[in-house]
Structure 1
Amino acid sequence: MDATGAGLESLTMVRHGQSTVNAAPYTGAEEFITGTRDADVPLTELGAAQAAAAGRRLAGFDPGFDLVLCSPYLRARETARIALVFLSTPPVHFDERIRDREPGVLFGLTRIGIQRRYPDEFREMQRSGGFYHRPPGGESWPDVALRLRAVLREMHGHVLVFTHDIAIVLTRYIFGDLSEAEISVQTSAQVRNASITRWERGDSGMRLTSYNDTSHLG
């Protein structure tokens, strides 16, 4: 039996603030980023301000947090560092299982770039759908869900997580809030930067109490 989330009393997930990639204008080019690893993409000035606003909002949560986890990617680490100034929490634990999806050979490419440079892979992506497609050297959405299930089983008490949009959407999937068909739509409905999503334990398990909340951003 999968006891995912059995030890949780509440789970609060924060997407990182705006990154330099999020802020890059779409120009119809084949690439949206060059010269850096996905793990090293930083926040913008706006993203840092968003992280501070999220921290001020989190400071009002009652009860507080027993455990704080963070993706090791720079944009998530910077968000956590800024936000946690406003809270009194245990030390942050960095866990690679809550990192962003690994895109493999498709990293940095726009949809146009994939179609032009990897036409066979683009056709396979169209055939299998975004949920199940696994690019060479990368992960499918279920691959990410598998590592999320593992870390969720280890969580206890009231937990705060700084992570990425895919982790938040897939946690909804794992907890039964979204079906495969619904989550396939979510692949193009991005969770907003510095948004807060929260589950609390109810009589029937973990209950989604807020999703993609950015009211603290003004």
Structure 2
Amino acid sequence: MGATELILVRHGESAGNVAATAAMAAGAEVIEVDRRDADVPLSPLGEAQAAAFGRWLAELPMDQRPDAVWSSPYLRAQQTARIGLDTSVAGTVGTDGGGWAVPPVRVDERFRDRELGILDLLTPLGVQRRFPEEAQRRRWLGKFYHRPPGGESWADVALRLRSGLLDLDIVEDGRRVLVVAHDAVVLLLRYVCEGMTEQDVLGIASTVSVRNASVTRLVRDPATGYWQCVDFNLVGHLADEGVPSTEHAGDANARPQ
């Protein structure tokens, strides 16, 4: 049947999230980040969010903890996974008869964030001013199918996630899997697993943002093999630890025009 449960976690707040929010607030065209997207680290708050996730993980009953961990190769996702797992180990030692045997983190590039091509590091204002024809094409095609030159559409990301899930099912047959990735990846994993339509997933994207270090759980029906979302975008573990929750939403152009 494949994996029995997916615990999907968006990475904690990153330095890029902070820079993008500041750029949009300032009315800037360019997001000031001094490294490629794959190398952007967590912010100090993002590290605290990852630790809060780890403490939540430590409090789960042993039969609800993940048997395997997969991660996007991007630094912010790997840091979230590592901090979370290390924190969970510290929180379980001496409480469960010897501690939790933490699974190794398997890195897979198919769970990376969406690539933006020529629009990378540009705010919506920057896209409109520097590539007005591309902005018009994006409005016409909508978020799901628009592929910026050199980048990916949401449909492209869904295609590589289908491939990643096939391998995950083979390797993790009968196991509960933690996947640490990105906001668009969380939504598109729901899209793929739950058999959503374009309108379904964009309807969610237009009303709610996947928060940093949030938890989404998909459970597979053993009888049918179909996935069901039982928890989405949970951040109560952050509030319990007194750690601020952050949105840092992606592209606001969620619906087809």
1:93: which partner in 2? 106
SS of corresponding position for 1:32: coil
Question: Letter of the aligned partner of 1:65 in structure 2?
Answer: P
Q: CA deviation at 1:209?
A: 1.1
1:73: which partner in 2? 74
Structure 2: distance between partners of 1:79 and 1:63 = 20
Question: Letter of the aligned partner of 2:37 in structure 1?
Answer: D
Structure 2: distance between partners of 1:114 and 1:209 = 37
Aligned residues: CA RMSD: 1.5
TM-score normalized by structure 2? 0.79
The within-5 A match list for 1:170-181 is 170-176=188-194, 178-181=196-199
Higher mean C-alpha displacement, 161-170 vs 65-74: 65-74
SS of corresponding position for 1:93: strand
CA contact (8 A) 2:16 2:33 kept: no
Of the three residues 116, 127, 130, the one matched with 2:129 is: 116
Establish whether residue 183 from structure 1 lines up as the match of residue 201 from structure 2.
yes
What whole-Å deviation, never above 9, does each CA across 1:14-72 have from its counterpart, x for those lacking one? 10001112223221100123432111111111110000010111223333222211111
1:214: which partner in 2? 235
1:45: which partner in 2? 44
Structure 2: distance between partners of 1:80 and 1:161 = 9
Establish whether residue 60 from structure 1 lines up as the match of residue 59 from structure 2.
yes
SS of corresponding position for 2:156: helix
CA contact (8 A) 1:64 1:89 kept: no
Structure 2: distance between partners of 1:104 and 1:182 = 26
Establish whether residue 199 from structure 1 lines up as the match of residue 218 from structure 2.
yes
CA contact (8 A) 1:130 1:187 kept: no
From the two aligned structures, give the one with the greater strand fraction.
1
Q: CA deviation at 1:153?
A: 1.4
CA contact (8 A) 2:113 2:184 kept: yes
What whole-Å deviation, never above 9, does each CA across 1:99-157 have from its counterpart, x for those lacking one? 00000010000100001111111110011011100000000001100111111112221
CA contact (8 A) 2:49 2:238 kept: yes
CA contact (8 A) 2:194 2:228 kept: no
1:160: which partner in 2? 178
Structure 1: distance between partners of 2:49 and 2:176 = 23
Structure 2: distance between partners of 1:21 and 1:207 = 32
Change (3 A) 1:163 1:133: same
Q: CA deviation at 1:177?
A: 6.1
Is there any run of 5+ residues in structure 2 with no aligned partner, and where?
90-100, 240-257
SS of corresponding position for 2:217: strand
CA contact (8 A) 2:194 2:227 kept: no
Is there any run of 5+ residues in structure 1 with no aligned partner, and where?
1-5
Structure 2: distance between partners of 1:30 and 1:60 = 44
What whole-Å deviation, never above 9, does each CA across 1:182-207 have from its counterpart, x for those lacking one? 32244453200000001112244222
Higher mean C-alpha displacement, 27-36 vs 127-136: 27-36
Structure 2: distance between partners of 1:117 and 1:43 = 29
Structure 2: distance between partners of 1:124 and 1:114 = 11
SS of corresponding position for 1:154: helix
1:3: which partner in 2? none
CA contact (8 A) 2:10 2:215 kept: yes
